[in-house]
C-alpha cells in the first residue's frame, strides 16, 4: 500500500479542523487565502472570523 507521509496528507487539504472549514464555507470564504496562526500553521476559527471581518466589517 502507498503510505502518504503526514506532510503530504496535510499539503493536500486545507490546514484546519473540519468545523472551521465548514464555517469558512458557510461564509463563502476561500481557505487558501487565510493565514493560519494555530499550531503548525493551522487555520483557527479566529483566523476565519478575522478574515471575514476584514471583508465585511460589522
Partner 1 sequence: MAEQAAGQEFDILILGGGSGGYAAALRAIQLGKTVGLVEKSKLGGTCLHNGCIPTKALLHAAEVADHAREGAKVGVNVELKSIDMVAVNAYKDGIVAGKYKGLQGLIKGKGITVIEGEGKLTAANTITVNGVNYTGKNIILATGSYSRSLPGLEIGGKVITSDQALTMDYLPKSVIVLGGGVIGVEFASVWKSFGVDVTIIEGMASLVPNEDAAIIKVLERTFRKRGIKFNTGTFFQGVEQSADGVKATLVDGKTFEAELMLVAVGRGPSTAGLGYEEAGVTMDRGFVITNDRLHTGVGNIYAVGDIVPGIQLAHRGFQQGIFVAEEIAGLNPVVVEDINVPKVTYCDPEIASVGLNEKQAKEKFGDENVESTEYNLAGNGKSAILGTGGIIKFVREKNGPVVGVHMIGSRVGEQIGEAQLIVNWEAYPEDVASLIHAHPTQNEALGEAAMALAGRPLHG
- The residue from 15, 29, 36, 45 that contacts partner 1 (CB under 8 A) is 45
Backbone angles phi, psi at 30, to 5 degrees: -95, 115
Q: Please, what is the minimum distance in Å from the beta carbon of residue 6 to partner 1?
A: 5
Residues sharing a CB contact under 8 Å with residue 6, sequence separation 6 or more, in sequence order: none
Contact call for residue 12 and partner 1 (CB under 8 A): yes
Contact call for residue 57 and partner 1 (CB under 8 A): no
Note the residues at the interface with partner 1 (CB under 8 A): 1-7, 9, 12-13, 17-19, 21-23, 25-26, 45
Amino acid at each position: 500500500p502507498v503510505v502518504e507521509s503526514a506532510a503530504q496528507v496535510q499539503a493536500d487539504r486545507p490546514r484546519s479542523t473540519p468545523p472551521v472549514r465548514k464555517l469558512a464555507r458557510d461564509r463563502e470564504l476561500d481557505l487558501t487565502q487565510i493565514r493560519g496562526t494555530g499550531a503548525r500553521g493551522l487555520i483557527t476559527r479566529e483566523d476565519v472570523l478575522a478574515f471575514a471581518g476584514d471583508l465585511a466589517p460589522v
